A = this chain, B = another copy of it.
Amino acid sequence: MGTLTFLASRFLSSRPLAGATIGVSLHITKETAVLVDSLVSLGAEVAIASANPLSTQDDIAAFLATKARVFAWKGETQEEYAWCHRMVLDQNPGQLIDDGGDLHVAAHLRGVDQIVGGSEETTTGVNRLKALEAEGKLRYPVIAVNDARTKFLFDNRHGTGQSTFDGILRATSLLLSGKEVVVVGYGCVGKGVAERARGLGCKVTVVEVDPVKALEAHLDGFVVSEMFKASTYGNLFITGTGQKSVISYESIMRMRDGAVLANAGHFDVEIDIRTMFSRAKAIREVRPFVKEIRLENGKKVFVLAEGRVANLVVGEGHPPEVMQMSFANQLLAAIRIRKSHSGLRNQVYAVDRATEEEISRAALKSMGIRFMARDSGKLSGAG
User: With A199-B199, A212-B360, A360-B214 given, is the CB distance from A207 to B371 under 8 Å?
Assistant: yes
Query: B228 touching A175 by the CB < 8 A rule?
Result: no
For residue A342, which residues in chain B have a CB less than 8 angstroms away from its CB? none
Q: Give complex CA distance A104, B144 in Å.
A: 40
Query: B356 touching A209 by the CB < 8 A rule?
Result: no
Q: How large is the interface on A (under 10, 10 to 19, 20 to 34, 35 or more residues)?
A: 35 or more
Query: B175 touching A159 by the CB < 8 A rule?
Result: yes
User: With A201-B219, A207-B372, A319-B173 given, is the CB distance from A226 to B154 under 8 Å?
Assistant: no
Q: Give complex CA distance A139, B354 in Å.
A: 35
Q: Is A96 an interface residue (CB 8 A)?
A: no
For residue A360, which residues in chain B have a CB less than 8 angstroms away from its CB? 211-212, 214-215
Q: Is A210 an interface residue (CB 8 A)?
A: yes
Residue from the list B221, B361, B363, B374 in contact with A177, Cβ < 8 A: B221
Residue from the list B225, B226, B319 in contact with A175, Cβ < 8 A: B319
Residue from the list B200, B321, B364 in contact with A200, Cβ < 8 A: B200
Interface string of A133-162 (1 = CB under 8 A from B): 000000000000000011001100111011
CB nearest to A362 among chain B residues: B211
Q: Is A293 an interface residue (CB 8 A)?
A: no
Query: A226 touching B383 by the CB < 8 A rule?
Result: yes
Interface string of A163-178 (1 = CB under 8 A from B): 0001001100111111
For residue A248, which residues in chain B have a CB less than 8 angstroms away from its CB? 375-377
A:350-382 near B, CB below 8 Å: 356-357, 360-361, 363-364, 367-380, 382
How many copies of this protein are present in the complex?
Answer: 4
Query: A371 touching B226 by the CB < 8 A rule?
Result: yes
Would you give the shortest CB distance from A330 to chain B, in whole angstroms? Answer: 18
Residue from the list B209, B218, B316 in contact with A173, Cβ < 8 A: B316
Q: Is A246 an interface residue (CB 8 A)?
A: yes
Query: A215 touching B174 by the CB < 8 A rule?
Result: no
Would you give the shortest CB distance from A383 to chain B, in whole angstroms? Answer: 7
For residue A316, which residues in chain B have a CB less than 8 angstroms away from its CB? 173
Query: B320 touching A370 by the CB < 8 A rule?
Result: no
User: With A162-B177, A175-B159 given, is the CB distance from A356 to B212 under 8 Å?
Assistant: yes
User: With A175-B322, A224-B364, A228-B380 given, is the CB distance from A373 to B169 under 8 Å?
Assistant: no
Q: Is A196 an interface residue (CB 8 A)?
A: yes
Query: A221 touching B247 by the CB < 8 A rule?
Result: no
Q: Is A283 an interface residue (CB 8 A)?
A: no
A-B contacts, 12 listed (Cβ < 8 Å):
A149-B212, A173-B320, A175-B322, A195-B201, A198-B221, A209-B374, A214-B371, A225-B372, A226-B372, A228-B375, A228-B379, A249-B377
6 further contact pairs, Cβ within 8 A, besides A200-B200, A245-B375, A248-B377: A153-B219, A158-B175, A166-B166, A210-B357, A214-B371, A250-B375
